[in-house]
């Protein structure tokens, strides 16, 4: 029976569709019986899919076969008998000028490889640089609306049915309005005097102004960043407004997690909070959402643009929903000085997602948050990390703690499966 090491060596050819019949049968039978190799294969498959999606726009648009063949050395040498080869080795002076030049091939071959690499690089870089990712379509443009990118900072006018290729920044002027239809059934209504930067179909930054968001339940959670903090949603309707001294978040329907570096909270139907970078406690208050709903209803998408958007081929989506892991740990009302996370190390050295850790009491009220850097998961000899509790007495009044860990895909795409959470008393 094949070992785990032998099976993992077949992952690349298997995922590329180049594995032979016997190798394919061996691998598929092994991963059915070995949970570790099955998880490693699925992670490799997810990484390959992500790379294919990310680099799809960088594919060469022309065939380089002729250019490559033109720079390869002539390798079609005549057949030689053993005796003739021995004679050449003993008497190199009899080889003639061509033979002596051929003796230098091992010296010049590396230089030739470098030259060939430069030719390939020049042909590759001659293509249009493709860092953009398709995210959606403009479903309404009203009044002054412009767009720009970091590569092309000069503003240009936005038109109805324009494709949204991220990253891109949109700005609405006075009396301006914009509706963005994003993939995975999300719709963002951008009000007047607003500036928003779209990073992808499930992430944008509200730099100023206000928006109304209707987010579909896609393969990954949806995130909105502002100068004051971060909003994470899982399929809901809400509004975000950047004010002079804070960010106001209002939930019409569903759940929204709001956080900064210090704390977090979850808002539900009809709740609102204000967020600043220094906020220590986020208070949820009841809000009248009628004004927000009416303001959003005043912006109506163009029917023809909506039809074109739904007819547009959608990009690859992540089938796996948000990889949130929740642990319930008993404290027996004793002080807690540290929280320990344990996991089974994987074979990957880089590409891990970091993790945000959210600690709540037995009534799901937020207590504090922490972050686990992705480099921790590259250390294969530990499989364990420790999070210090800011104040041991902070958790002492609770008999049960709810600890939620959520991946931060901005650092990588490889997820970690945590096996245990333990507590330490002072």
Q: Strand pairing of 354-360 and 366-372?
A: antiparallel
DSSP 64: -
- Using CA atoms, how far apart are residues 157 and 75, in angstroms rounded to an integer? 57
Q: Do domains 134-311 and 325-424 have the same CATH topology?
A: yes
Check residue 172 and give its pLDDT.
97
Q: Strand pairing of 366-372 and 271-275?
A: unpaired
Residues 193 and 209: beta-carbon distance below 8 Å: yes
pLDDT in tens, the chain (426 residues): 567 877 788 888 888 777 777 778 888 888 888 888 888 888 888 777 767 666 655 555 555 565 555 555 544 444 444 455 445 544 555 555 545 555 555 555 556 555 555 555 444 443 334 456 788 999 999 999 999 998 889 999 999 999 999 899 999 999 999 999 998 889 999 999 999 999 988 899 999 999 999 998 766 788 899 999 889 887 799 999 999 999 999 999 999 999 988 888 989 999 999 999 988 888 899 999 999 999 999 999 999 999 999 888 766 544 444 457 888 888 878 888 899 999 988 888 888 888 989 988 887 788 888 899 999 998 888 899 999 988 877 777 778 888 988 888 777 778 888 999 998 887
Q: Does the domain formed by 134-311 have CATH 3.10.310.30?
A: no
Query: Can you give the pTM of this predicted structure?
Result: 0.60
- Using CA atoms, how far apart are residues 245 and 150, in angstroms rounded to an integer? 27
Structural domain boundaries in the chain: 4-57, 65-125, 134-311, 325-424
| CATH class assigned to 325-424 | mainly beta
Considering Cα of 127, then 132, then 136, then 139, what sign does the dihedral take?
negative
Check residue 75 and give its pLDDT.
45
Q: Is the peptide bond before 167 cis (omega within 30 degrees of 0)?
A: yes
């Amino acid at each position: 029976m094949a070992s785990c090491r032998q099976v993992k060596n077949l992952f690349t050819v298997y995922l590329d569709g180049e594995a032979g019949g016997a190798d394919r049968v061996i691998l598929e039978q092994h991963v059915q019986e070995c949970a570790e190799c099955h998880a490693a294969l699925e992670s490799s498959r997810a990484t390959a899919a992500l790379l294919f999606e990310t680099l799809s726009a960088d594919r060469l648009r022309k065939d380089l076969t002729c250019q490559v063949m033109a720079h390869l050395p002539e390798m079609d040498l005549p057949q030689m008998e053993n005796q003739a080869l021995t004679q050449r080795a003993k008497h190199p002076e009899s080889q003639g000028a061509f033979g002596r030049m051929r003796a230098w091939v091992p010296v010049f071959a590396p230089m030739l490889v470098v030259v060939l690499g430069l030719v390939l690089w020049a042909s590759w870089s001659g293509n249009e640089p493709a860092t953009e990712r398709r995210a959606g379509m403009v479903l309404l443009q009203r009044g002054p609306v412009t767009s720009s990118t970091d590569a092309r900072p000069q503003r240009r006018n936005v038109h109805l049915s324009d494709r949204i290729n991220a990253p891109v920044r949109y700005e609405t002027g006075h009396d301006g309005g914009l509706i963005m239809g994003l993939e995975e059934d999300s719709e963002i209504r951008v009000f007047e005097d607003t500036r928003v930067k779209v990073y992808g179909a499930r992430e944008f930054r509200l730099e100023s102004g206000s928006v109304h968001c209707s987010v579909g339940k896609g393969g990954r959670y949806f995130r909105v960043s502002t100068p004051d903090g971060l909003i994470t949603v899982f399929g809901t309707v809400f509004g975000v407004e950047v004010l002079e001294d804070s960010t106001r978040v209002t939930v019409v329907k569903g759940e929204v997690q709001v956080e900064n570096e210090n704390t977090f909270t979850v808002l539900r139907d009809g709740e609102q909070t204000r967020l600043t970078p220094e906020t220590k406690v986020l208070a949820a208050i009841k809000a009248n959402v009628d004004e927000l709903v009416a303001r959003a209803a005043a912006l109506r998408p163009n029917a023809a643009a909506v039809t074109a958007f739904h007819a547009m081929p959608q990009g690859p989506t992540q089938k796996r929903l948000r990889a949130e892991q929740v642990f319930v740990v008993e404290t027996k009302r004793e002080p807690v000085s540290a929280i320990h996370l344990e996991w089974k190390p994987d074979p990957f050295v880089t590409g891990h997602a970091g993790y945000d850790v959210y600690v709540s009491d037995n009534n799901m009220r937020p207590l504090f948050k922490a972050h686990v850097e992705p480099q921790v998961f590259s250390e294969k000899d530990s499989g364990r990390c420790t999070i210090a509790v800011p104040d041991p007495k902070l958790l002492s009044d609770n008999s049960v703690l709810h600890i939620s860990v959520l991946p931060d895909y901005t650092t990588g795409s490889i997820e970690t499966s945590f096996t245990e959470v333990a507590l330490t008393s002072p």
